[in-house]
Structures are given as C-alpha cells and as structure tokens.
Amino acid sequence: MRGRPYALLLLIALGSACGPAAANRPLPAYAGKITTLFDDTIEPSAVGMDLDKSYDPATDPQFRERTRDADAVLRVRILTVTARTSEAHSVYQLSMSAVGDEMVGKYPPKSPFNVRIDEKSVSIGLVKNLESGLVGKTFVIFVKEFVLADGDKELHFHLAPDSKAVIHAVSDSLALDEVKK
C-alpha cells in the first residue's frame, strides 16, 4: 500500500504535464507579418466558390510558412455557426471539433474550440451568405494562439480545403523543413 500514493502522485504529475493546455509557453502578439498567415479567413475553394479551380497549395507562397508557424494543423468539422450582429458590426463564432489526429503541431486547441470571423476578415461575406451551410463541412485549419494586451488569449486561423492536395502539401512542407534542418 505504501507505493500507491507515490504512484498516484506520479500519474497526476505526468497527466498535468501533457497536452497543449499544460504548455506554459510565451505567446506572440497578433501583429506584423504573422497576421497575414493566420488571417481569420476561409479559402473560397474550401466551400466550392473557386470558379476557376485555381487554389493550389503548392503554389501558395505562404503555405509552407503557415504550416511551419502554426501551433497545429488539423482537419476539423464545423459544429455550429453563431452570428452576433448589431448595427455597428457583425461577428461570427465558428465552433469546430478535430477530425482525427493533428497533422502538424505541438499545441492543438482542445476540441471542440471556437474561432471568430469579424468584419476585418475578407471572409465575412462568405460566412454571412453560407452561415448554417458551413455546419458539417470539413476543413484543414492552420491555427495559432496569441496573447492580447490584457493578457487574455485568442486563436487566429486560416481554413483551407479538406482535400488531398492540401494534406499532401502539409506533408511536403514538413519534409522540406526536415531536410533543411
């Protein structure tokens, strides 16, 4: 019986050290070039609105950098879309959950999680038009956590199509980064 309290303490210590929530890491401010990588947008092709079928992650100059700098890259499914509108502005909250394991990253958000799209995002019109039509759709999300001036934290993201091309491009980006190390 004497070893049980120590075993319990060991399990508690190991459990509390695992996962992104336990990560006590410095977070960047949401400013500068990183705002173009995690721009709170949805690629139009991810919702079938790319009429000329031009989205190719292999030719996206920011794709590799976005993959490398993300806290996590994972497949997600939209659970709900909640609109908060006023005369002054509109904000949409997208609740999503991970589908399978993360593809990349040490700090995936705990599923389910929420992201916001407001009027600063070029995707605000897309979300307004599709709103509940986004529910159930799957995407590949590049997500990163940032710190606000008041110390609170928020997620910023980029949603890409849940396609073989995107998934292969993520793998290729990882391989290129490994070769360069």
Contact 134, 127 (CB under 8 A): yes
**Per-residue pLDDT reduced to its tens digit, 6-40:** 333 333 333 333 334 445 789 999 999 999 999 99
pLDDT at 22: 40
**Cβ neighbours of residue 68 closer than 8 Å, sequence gap 6 or more:** 173, 177
**Per-residue pLDDT reduced to its tens digit, 33-88:** 999 999 999 999 898 887 656 667 877 889 999 999 999 999 999 999 999 888 77
- Cα Rg of the chain, angstroms: 18
Look over the chain and give the mean of its residue pLDDT values, rounded to a whole number.
84
Q: Roughly how many angstroms between the first and final C-alpha of the chain, as a whole number?
A: 49
Q: pLDDT band at 130, cuts 50/70/90?
A: very high
**Per-residue pLDDT reduced to its tens digit, 133-148:** 999 999 999 999 999 9
Number of residues assigned to the chain: 181
Element (H, E) at 2: none
Domains in the chain (CATH in brackets) are 27-180 (2.40.50)
